[in-house]
């Protein structure tokens, strides 16, 4: 499935908003353990890619950095979900599922961008 290029000014503005929201959630998770952060890391990854999509080298660097970070975050959330109460486990599991979905679509879009160049 082909995606539209990610280099418009609107998408760059969205990228900044995703970065700010993701970083805020990660910081909140550091202060309050009830805030899961796998999806927040995926938001930061999306924001980064939206902002660096014009430069192939930076796009590759973002993929190299956020791929293992995203995998570790999802693995941690799944582990937390399995070791927690049912309610907390469901919440952590939903966060992991959201992160997987966001990261999958980001990987597809990044692959499309890199294939075009």
pLDDT class of 12 with cuts at 50, 70, 90: confident
Contact 112, 7 (CB under 8 A): no
| Average predicted confidence (pLDDT) for the chain | 88
Q: How many residues does the chain have?
A: 117
**What ranges in the chain are assigned the alpha helix state H?**
9-31, 38-52, 56-82, 86-116
* φ and ψ at residue 47, rounded to 5 degrees: -60, -40
Given its phi and psi angles, is residue 4 left (phi above 0), alpha (psi -120 to 50 degrees) or beta? beta
pLDDT digits (tens, 9 = 90+) for 56-101: 999 999 999 999 999 999 998 888 888 888 988 898 889 999 999 9
Per domain, the residue ranges of the chain are 9-116
Q: What is the pTM of this model?
A: 0.84
**pLDDT above 80 (res 33):** no
């Amino acid at each position: 499935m082909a995606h539209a290029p990610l280099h418009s000014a609107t998408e760059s503005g969205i990228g900044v908003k995703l970065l700010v929201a993701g970083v805020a959630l990660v910081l909140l998770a550091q202060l309050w353990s009830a805030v899961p952060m796998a999806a927040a890391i995926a938001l930061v990854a999306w924001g980064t890619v939206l902002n660096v999509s014009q430069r192939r080298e930076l796009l590759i660097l973002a993929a190299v950095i956020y791929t293992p970070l995203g995998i570790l975050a999802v693995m941690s959330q799944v582990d937390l979900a399995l070791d927690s109460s049912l309610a907390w486990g469901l919440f952590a599991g939903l966060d992991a599922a959201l992160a997987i979905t966001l990261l999958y679509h980001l990987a597809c879009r990044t692959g499309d961008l890199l294939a075009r160049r």
